Chains A and B, each alone.
Chain A
Amino acid sequence: MVLGPSDQAGPAARPMFRRGALPSVRNMNETKNAVITGASRGLGLALARGLAAEGWSLVIDARDAGPLHAAAASLSGSARVIPLPGDITDPAHRAALRDAADRLGGPDLLINNAGTLGASPLPAIADYPIAELREAFEVNVLAPLALTQLLLPALRRRGGAVLSVTSDAAVEPYAGWGGYGAAKAALEQASHVLAAEENVVRVWWVDPGDIRTRMHQEAFPGEDISDRPLPETVVPGFLRLVTERMPDGRYRAAELMPSGVAS
């Protein structure tokens, strides 16, 4: 038997159907756009600097306009930076972040970095003021989740990613860290489920490790935290995660640090 004309009927003529607009294939080496929350200082600003230096365009947010505009002015590189002061728990502000990302062409990456420690000094769970706990969940869980929901359609179209900053307090039972840790654990689980539900968008949640930030200082009021590394030191790990488009999952920034020099 050889291949040859078949005695079966050929294909019937088919009507043409309108397919509607479909996304094209994206070359992932192209310059891209990121939304970073809490980017006026600390880890958020360090990540903004790292991405801007790689040519990314950015939408950055923080509650206080002054430090945010100063941060935007300090970003090097030729990429565009749109600073939008506001509170991520405010739906109108979240919509403005989405609109700004759309003006850049659409988001490829959302970094949920903004967060709150909650009550300081850190109370025991037994005595945690519920109103402050509720606020910690608003800022650390519900707001990033709402922003993620808002950006997901565009992230799907662009083969994008959601990176949420978490903490070892989400998985370790550190005394005093119950409020913050419970909220970060909720953020981690929401991320984990999102990864299971989305089969195009990448979902990462990353523990940066102990770093010298204002939030860390608030957790240890009056203590000298100058032995903790600066946030800039962990940025290469985050950048590697993003540019290599690593699989979905939980990462520690330290394990992502590049081990050698590219040839």
Chain B
Amino acid sequence: MTAVAEYVDARDRLAFTLPPEHEAHEPPEARGVPRDGVAMLVSRAAAGEISHHAFTDLPSLLLPGDLLVVNTSATLPAAVRAGSGLAVHFSTPLPDGDWLVELRAARDGTTAPYGGGTPGQQLGLPGGAALTLGARFTGRLWRARLSTAVVPYLLRHGSPIRYSYVQRPWPVESYQTVFGTRPGSAEMPSASRPFTPEIVARLVARGVTFAPITLHTGVSSLEGDEDPYPEPFDVPPATARLVNLTRRSGGRVIAVGTTVVRALETAARADAAGPRLVSPAAGWTEHIVTPENPLLAVDGLVTGLHEPRSSHLRMLAAFAGLDLLGRCYAAAIDRGYLWHEFGDLHLLLP
């Protein structure tokens, strides 16, 4: 089989149909469930086992000496209504001050994909701002320049990005996590949403350690079958040291979210310090984790449930293998787990 055929085959094995009743339409709090009251499927790669838990079981599922690495990126209200039935989703800052943006068609109170737009086109935005489109960057994203500083503009005029499966708007607070301190993500780093101060305190008391990275995640083009693009990230020196110390000491490095995996695996490749050593690193990462591109720094992952065929599923396959991952998703559908940013969790252990 050629490399291309293998790739297509791997993608097809990550295809399934997501029944609509498995979509989380609102924050758990709106369903009468506390933030940390979501369900968590646990898979163990070495044993090939699956078990079902409440998220609040996490402290007993981890061991003293394990390290949880969390993303400190906070969610921006990254969606802005433009005139003429369009909306703009601000995805990712680029180093020259341009942003990657997605144009969306405003429809029934939410938005739908929009294929239009031309280079050089100007869009008038609320508050007298103007957005100028540059070149197309991927099939979905444009390079664009806003006439004013983007982050303060969004804090004043934006609202959280919302797709059609979330049926009404929620305030940006619903999209923040307990670790989010640096505004910059277009969409919530949602794996850490169920973490509450109480759970963090119980994990600390258990002897589990925490360390921060920052990765500002863009619009969910890693969901669906779409082109990836670079995201700004930062692995600070203290975190790099803790990751390396944990692994040297026999503990496990558990990423809270796929963003953390991307950042740490990038930092593990930032120099020739040797396999399984993480360097302090920063910049824009285009690294994609797949089963063919082995994990160097991360042993386990807390994440949500991902869409069919997404490149996130290929990252998960790097942790669990395709067969166990397939059984996990079959079990999740069987047992009524909920998908998307307000849904349930999956803990992938080695």
Please tell me if the beta carbons of A28 and B280 are within 8 angstroms of each other in the complex: yes
B65 within 8 A of A: no
The 8 Å CB contact of B271, one of A8, A29, A246, A247, is A29
Using A6-B15, A8-B17, A27-B271 as known contacts, say yes or no to A1 and B334 having CB atoms under 8 A apart.
yes
B303 within 8 A of A: no
Could you say which residues of chain A place their CB within 8 Å of the CB of B136?
A: 17
Annotate A10-23 by CB proximity to B: 1 below 8 A, 0 otherwise.
Answer: 11001101111011
Please tell me if the beta carbons of B283 and A24 are within 8 angstroms of each other in the complex: yes
Please tell me if the beta carbons of A25 and B238 are within 8 angstroms of each other in the complex: no
A200 within 8 A of B: yes
Could you say which residues of chain A place their CB within 8 Å of the CB of B152?
A: 196-197
Contact segment of B46-54, B104-112, B168-176, B226-234? B226-234
A3 within 8 A of B: yes
Please tell me if the beta carbons of A199 and B232 are within 8 angstroms of each other in the complex: yes
Annotate B174-194 by CB proximity to A: 1 below 8 A, 0 otherwise.
Answer: 000000011110000000000
B137 within 8 A of A: yes
Query: Roughly how many angstroms separate A118 CA and B13 CA in the complex, as a whole number?
Result: 71
The 8 Å CB contact of A3, one of B16, B94, B95, B225, is B16
Could you say which residues of chain B place their CB within 8 Å of the CB of A24?
A: 283-284
B123 within 8 A of A: no
B282 within 8 A of A: yes
B204 within 8 A of A: no
Query: Roughly how many angstroms separate A10 CA and B225 CA in the complex, as a whole number?
Result: 9
Please tell me if the beta carbons of B283 and A26 are within 8 angstroms of each other in the complex: yes
A-B contact count (CB 8 A): 130
Q: Which of B275-306 contact A (CB under 8 A)?
A: 279-287
Query: Roughly how many angstroms separate A11 CA and B138 CA in the complex, as a whole number?
Result: 14
Could you say which residues of chain A place their CB within 8 Å of the CB of B138?
A: 17
Please tell me if the beta carbons of A245 and B236 are within 8 angstroms of each other in the complex: yes
Please tell me if the beta carbons of B15 and A159 are within 8 angstroms of each other in the complex: no
Interface size class of B (residues with CB under 8 A): 35 or more
Q: Which of A159-204 contact B (CB under 8 A)?
A: 159, 196-200
Please tell me if the beta carbons of B283 and A23 are within 8 angstroms of each other in the complex: yes
Please tell me if the beta carbons of A28 and B182 are within 8 angstroms of each other in the complex: no
| Chain B residue, CB-CB nearest to A199 | B184
Query: Roughly how many angstroms separate A156 CA and B149 CA in the complex, as a whole number?
Result: 14
Query: Roughly how many angstroms separate A159 CA and B93 CA in the complex, as a whole number?
Result: 12
Annotate B301-339 by CB proximity to A: 1 below 8 A, 0 otherwise.
Answer: 000000011000000000000100111011001100000
The 8 Å CB contact of B97, one of A4, A153, A196, is A153
Please tell me if the beta carbons of B151 and A4 are within 8 angstroms of each other in the complex: no
Nearest Cβ on chain B to A152's Cβ, whole angstroms: 8
The interface on chain A, measured as residues whose beta carbon lies within 8 A of the other chain's beta carbons, has a size of 40
Please tell me if the beta carbons of A22 and B12 are within 8 angstroms of each other in the complex: no
Please tell me if the beta carbons of B151 and A199 are within 8 angstroms of each other in the complex: yes
B250 within 8 A of A: no
Please tell me if the beta carbons of B270 and A25 are within 8 angstroms of each other in the complex: yes
A260 within 8 A of B: no
Query: Roughly how many angstroms separate A245 CA and B97 CA in the complex, as a whole number?
Result: 22
Could you say which residues of chain B place their CB within 8 Å of the CB of A17?
A: 135-139
Could you say which residues of chain B place their CB within 8 Å of the CB of A8?
A: 15, 17, 308
The 8 Å CB contact of A156, one of B95, B183, B267, B280, is B95
| Chain B residue, CB-CB nearest to A26 | B283
Could you say which residues of chain A place their CB within 8 Å of the CB of B286?
A: 22
Nearest Cβ on chain A to B186's Cβ, whole angstroms: 11
Please tell me if the beta carbons of B151 and A197 are within 8 angstroms of each other in the complex: yes
Please tell me if the beta carbons of B95 and A244 are within 8 angstroms of each other in the complex: no
Query: Roughly how many angstroms separate A198 CA and B280 CA in the complex, as a whole number?
Result: 20
Please tell me if the beta carbons of A157 and B13 are within 8 angstroms of each other in the complex: no
Using A3-B330, A5-B15, A17-B137 as known contacts, say yes or no to A28 and B279 having CB atoms under 8 A apart.
yes
Could you say which residues of chain B place their CB within 8 Å of the CB of A196?
A: 151-152, 183
Nearest Cβ on chain B to A12's Cβ, whole angstroms: 9
| Chain B residue, CB-CB nearest to A243 | B237
Using A29-B280, A199-B216, A200-B95 as known contacts, say yes or no to A11 and B225 having CB atoms under 8 A apart.
yes
Could you say which residues of chain B place their CB within 8 Å of the CB of A127?
A: none
Query: Roughly how many angstroms separate A3 CA and B324 CA in the complex, as a whole number?
Result: 10
Query: Roughly how many angstroms separate A11 CA and B325 CA in the complex, as a whole number?
Result: 22
Please tell me if the beta carbons of A20 and B230 are within 8 angstroms of each other in the complex: no
Annotate B14-25 by CB proximity to A: 1 below 8 A, 0 otherwise.
Answer: 111100000000
Q: A residues bordering B, Cβ < 8 Å? A: 1-8, 10-11, 14-15, 17-20, 22-30, 153, 156-157, 159, 196-200, 243-248
Given contacts A27-B281, A198-B151, 8 further A-B contacts (CB under 8 A): A2-B16, A4-B16, A25-B284, A26-B283, A30-B271, A156-B97, A157-B96, A196-B151
Can you pick out 27 interface pairs between chain A and chain B where the beta carbons lie within 8 Å of each other? A2-B326, A3-B330, A6-B17, A7-B17, A11-B225, A14-B139, A14-B227, A15-B139, A18-B135, A19-B137, A22-B94, A22-B95, A22-B284, A23-B284, A25-B270, A25-B283, A28-B237, A30-B271, A196-B152, A197-B151, A199-B151, A199-B182, A199-B232, A200-B282, A244-B237, A245-B280, A246-B236
